[in-house]
Structure 1
Amino acid sequence: MPKPSRGQLRIIGGHWRGRKLPIAEVEGLRPTPDRVRETLFNWLQGEIADSVCVDLFAGTGALALEALSRGAAQVIAVEQNRRACDQLRRSAEQLGTDRLQVVCASVEEFLTSEIDTATGEPWQILFVDPPYQLGFPPPQWQPLSDHPKLASEALVYLESARQYQQIDLQLEYPQWQTMRCKVAGEVCYRLLQRLQA
């Protein structure tokens, strides 16, 4: 049985670069490794400023907080664990930002209901880092892939276990093109872009 995560999360770039924030002690929580985050935000370099982002399965908030540090206009962090949500809110307070909206709900609830979000703007960048045991793509991909709030050329970061790196998501979901795909250790991570109809 995995031990609860302990310690701190370090923001690696942008306005809050080097800031360390506590991580909620929740079993199975695994922040996206620094090396993977560095690559991801290099990929997003020209896109992140002033964007509206959604972090599904937010967990430690590593991706949400990194996006804010690098200039995202607004981030909606969706996480169902109450303790993790409380820590995300405390982290936003510590950083003095009101640009993080924490939604304490399951991803399914968030995607299929009218949960009020502070922004009416389309979602431009999404971070999807589900528990690996959900498989690939995770079951939540279907309601996400055609969601009405997605921007016409939305970008999605999708993380999975390494064993799924050979799966071509575009065969089943032709409206999504894989822009980048990389493996680091046991992690496979992709950047997908929604194709205009």
Structure 2
Amino acid sequence: MSPVRGKAPAAASGQVRIVGGRWRNTRLQVPELPGLRPTSDRVRETLFNWLMPKLPGARVLDLFAGSGALGLEAVSRGAAFAQLVERDPQLVAALRGVVGRLGAGAQVEVIAGDALQWLGSAPPARADVVFLDPPFAAGLWEQVIERLPRHLADDAWLYVEAPVGAALQLPVEWQLRREGSTREVAYALYRRAAATLRGDMNATEPA
């Protein structure tokens, strides 16, 4: 994710790794920026276990991409395409470097820009999975979620990270499916209610 302004957790060690799929154990260099807090290996393993039935062929949107670990992990595990949105120039350069090193230019687009502005101005998309892990101190969750619908598939999945104890209010169209926490971070997976209304739920989706 993008840098967190304020308290700097101990997770920023200079590297994260892709934990599964064709790029498994690939190390991603993380620039030493104050407060940068990549999603931990353990949390990503849990998340992608939840998402595994949905990933093959999916289109992914990784907002506040930071190290790119979420979006790149999704493609490593079978997603067809990922857009990684990041505004910090140093992080953008690092993302483009790893995409080139992996030969992933046809499957991963790195977008240099502010996520909120991009959501408001970019052409409509049909993302199947969205990762939302903004700087905690900025309090951007609700603003981002308000701008998401035009970029989503009807049955999209939304992954959210927030501080433990944060009282996030998501619109009623989002149904909570899974959640967990560490000492500092709460994480949850939601699905758009439109999928239920169409009656397309099936036994292979994340419970």
Q: Is 1:128 aligned to 2:136, yes or no?
A: no
Amino acid of the structure 1 residue aligned with 2:128: Q
Alpha-carbon RMSD across the aligned residues, in angstroms, is: 2.0
1:37 partner letter: R
State the 1:72 CA deviation.
0.8
**Counterparts of 1:91 and 1:54, CA distance in 2:** 17
Conserved 8 A contact 1:161-1:188: yes
CA gap of 1:184–1:194, structure 2 versus 1, over 3 A, is same
Post-superposition CA distance 1:9-31 (Å, at most 9, x none): 21100001111121123222111
Alignment of 1:32-111 (within 5 A): 32-98=39-105, 99-111=107-119
The residue number in structure 1 matching 2:156 is 154
3-state SS of paired residue (1:124): strand
- TM-score, normalised to structure 1's length? 0.88
> Is residue 142–residue 169 contact of structure 2 (8 Å, CA) maintained in 1?
no
The one-letter code matched in structure 2 to 1:79 is E
What do residues 175-194 of structure 1 show as CA deviations (whole Å, max 9, x unaligned)? 11011111112110000111
Aligned AA (2:183):
G
Distance in 2 (alpha carbons) for counterparts of 1:96 and 1:56: 22
- SS of 1:93's partner is helix
Q: Percent sequence identity over matched residues?
A: 37
1:63 is paired with a residue whose SS is helix
Partners of 1:169 and 1:176 in 2: how far apart? Answer: 10
- For normalisation by structure 2, the TM-score amounts to 0.84
- 2:13 and 2:168 map into 1 onto residues whose CA distance is 35
In 2, Cα distance between equivalents of 1:32 and 1:180: 17
**Whole-Å Cα distance in 2 between the matches of residues 162 and 107 of structure 1?**
23
CA distance in 2, matches of 1:68, 1:122: 16
Q: Secondary structure at the match of 1:169?
A: coil
**Unaligned segments of structure 1, at least 5 residues:** none
Q: Return the letter of the residue paired with 2:163.
A: A
Asked if the contact 1:26–1:84 (Cα under 8 Å) also holds between the matched residues in 2, the reply is no
Residue type at the aligned position of 1:47: K
Aligned residues: 187
Q: d(CA) in 1 for partners of 2:9 and 2:128?
A: 35
Indicate the larger mover: 178-187 or 70-79. 178-187
SS of the residue corresponding to residue 18 of structure 1 reads coil
Change (3 A) 1:136 1:79: closer
Question: What amino acid does structure 2 have at the position aligned with 1:126?
Answer: V
Give the secondary structure class of the aligned counterpart of 1:127.
strand
Q: Is the 8 A contact 2:28 2:69 kept in 1?
A: no
* Residue in 1 that maps onto 2:173: 175
1:68-106 CA distances to partner (integer Å, 9 max, x unpaired)? 110110000000101101100100111111211011111
Conserved 8 A contact 1:13-1:66: yes
Higher relative contact order, chain-length normalized (CA < 8 Å, sep 6+): 2
Check conservation: 1:136, 1:160, Cα contact below 8 A.
Answer: no
